[in-house]
Chains A and B, each alone.
Chain A
Amino acid sequence: MFKKLVTVALVATIAAASAGSAIAQPMQIRIATEGAYPPFNQKDAAGNLVGFDIDIANALCAEMKAECTVVAQDWDGIIPGLVANKYDAIIASMSITPERQQSVGFTEPYYSNYLHVMAKKGSGIAGADDLAGKSVGAERSTVASQWAEDNLGRSADVKLYDTQTAAYSDLDAGRIDAMVSDIYPAYDWLQTHDGFEFIGDNIDIADKIGIAVRKDDNELREALNGALKTIRDNGTYATINAKYFPFDIY
């Protein structure tokens, strides 16, 4: 009888201790973003990371009751950094591609991307077909640059930039005749640059944007998927979406 009592007491203590530690230690998630891709992730004047991706990250963390830190990481090194365990997730408007899936795992998409060509107003470029012989910019390591190289590489002079902002600056300066870009950041840029416009139609490349996690990190992936579904259902996502775009980007 005494033995039984001791056992019960022990089990109770252990259960209490483990429950206690679960409350004391919420999930710690280190998140990387690029910080050079407005309006999804960029730095404000004070150097803080802001944007759609950051808002989504914060909403997901609040939903999972996790403690999150968001750091900026250069795009070229962002996947190697995840693999090397420098952080646990990438919320940086990353397209889900088979090449990337070789190295990392992805959650369900949190928005859909299209490509679009931009050029100066009155440039005479009416669509992607008119780009032969022109110089066309895109950010290296993006689906836009891969599309540009694969579809325009033979006919046009494709120039690759390290950041989206560098490509904008050369489009603005007239160094490149057109630019292929993801549609939403381009939409954002065009709001403040009157002299430029979208050319032609959306280029649908079946591009879905997801959160990257390490391949074997199923626990985090499932937690993020669950939280994503919740914020879609409870309207948090729609509120964040409306803050940046007057149309649904999901």
Chain B
Amino acid sequence: MFDFVRVYLNFKIAASDGICGALAPISPDLFVNACPRFFDGFFVTLELLLLSSVLGFLIAVAVVLARVSSSRFLSIPAHAYIYVFRGTPLLVQLWVLYYGLGSMGAEGLGPLWPFFKEGWWVGLLTLTLNTAAYVAEILRGGIQNLPHGQIEAAEACGMTWSQRMRRIIFPQAIRIAWPAYGNEVILLMKASALVSTITVMDLMGQTRTIFSRSYDLSIFLYGAALYLVLAGLLTLGLRLVEARMTIPSFTQPKSPR
């Protein structure tokens, strides 16, 4: 684990140095000076995004199972969770969790305080909970789109609930939901810029800090360009997964014989 962290940290430094060094001869001074800070922020955004999408996805699976469950004890809380997190602005959620809960301080939050003390952790928590609500709805669309006959057939074969989920429902639902899920990841990337309001030095936070020293508006263009690069990388990753998952006869219309 520590090896992985060390390799990643070295990779970050090498990537930042390498790219900034390579861009230096062809960039204006403004960008050259700010470049390491931009890449610091770039990686913070990337880390928050990857962690919150993975954790958010796991929570979303649990939430959607509860949401489509026939038990009201499961479906009503899941419904409420989705309603609250989709129905309030992410900025409000961030501020409630950071400034609101944070104002209780070490006495009020006890053992949770080290977690809530750091803007980065609160940002990760909020992004995760927020995206989980959206992804749960996306997955629900995938699940409820399946022909009911398949589930009846699986039941008739004697499959248990978990077997049906693992073998029949989820593999298909995830394929149906994937393009919409990719959309949500991109939206999450852009929404993550809001964590800069709770002291996180993500790409937006760094961009604003660099701007506050130079008052040169082109700083925001560089920031935007880096978001575009990130969006490009994400789109590529999502496409690769999609290509791997695709079963030709499942998603494409059969060619005439």
Contacts and interface: CB of A to CB of B under 8 A. Distances in A.
Interface of A: 76, 79-80, 99-100, 102-103, 137, 140-141, 145-146, 149, 159-162, 166, 169-170, 172-175
B208 interface: yes
Nearest to A145: B212
B182 to A, nearest CB: 31
B119 to A, nearest CB: 7
Contact of A141 (B102, B197, B212): B212
B247 to A, nearest CB: 49
A160 B197 CA distance: 9
B215 A172 contact: no
Contacts of A159: 119, 199
A169 B102 CA distance: 9
Nearest to B206: A160
Contacts of B105: 172-174
A174 B106 contact: yes
Q: Which 4 A-B pairs have the closest CB atoms?
A: A141-B212, A159-B199, A173-B105, A103-B215
Nearest to A175: B117
Interface centre among B99, B211, B212 (most CB of A within 10 A): B212
B257 interface: no
B205 interface: yes
Nearest to A101: B215
B103 A160 contact: no
Interface in B82-126: 99, 102-106, 117, 119
22 contacts: A79-B215, A80-B215, A80-B217, A99-B213, A140-B209, A145-B209, A145-B212, A146-B213, A149-B209, A159-B199, A160-B199, A160-B209, A162-B197, A166-B99, A169-B99, A169-B102, A169-B103, A172-B103, A173-B102, A173-B103, A173-B105, A175-B102
A80 B215 CA distance: 8
A159 B123 CA distance: 14
Given A159-B119, A160-B201, 13 more contacts: A76-B208, A76-B211, A99-B213, A99-B214, A140-B212, A141-B208, A149-B209, A160-B199, A160-B205, A169-B99, A170-B102, A172-B103, A173-B102
B224 to A, nearest CB: 16
Contacts of A100: 215
Q: Is the interface of A mostly helix, strand, loop or mixed?
A: helix
Interface of B: 99, 102-106, 117, 119, 197, 199, 201, 205, 208-209, 211-215, 217
Nearest to B102: A173
Contacts of A79: 215
Contact of B199 (A99, A103, A141, A161): A161
Contacts of A169: 99, 102-103
A174 B214 CA distance: 31
B112 to A, nearest CB: 13
Q: Which of A99, A145, A162, A173 has the most CB of B within 10 A?
A: A173
Nearest to B108: A173
A215 to B, nearest CB: 12
Contacts of A137: 199
Contacts of B214: 99
A181 B205 CA distance: 20
B120 to A, nearest CB: 10
A219 to B, nearest CB: 23
Contacts of B217: 80
Contacts of A174: 105-106, 117
A102 B119 CA distance: 33
A38 to B, nearest CB: 18
Contacts of A175: 102, 117
A102 B215 CA distance: 8
Contacts of B205: 160
A175 B119 CA distance: 9
A209 B41 CA distance: 31
Nearest to B197: A162
B1 to A, nearest CB: 24
Q: Which of B104, B209, B215 has the most CB of A within 10 A?
A: B215
A192 to B, nearest CB: 16
A177 B201 CA distance: 18
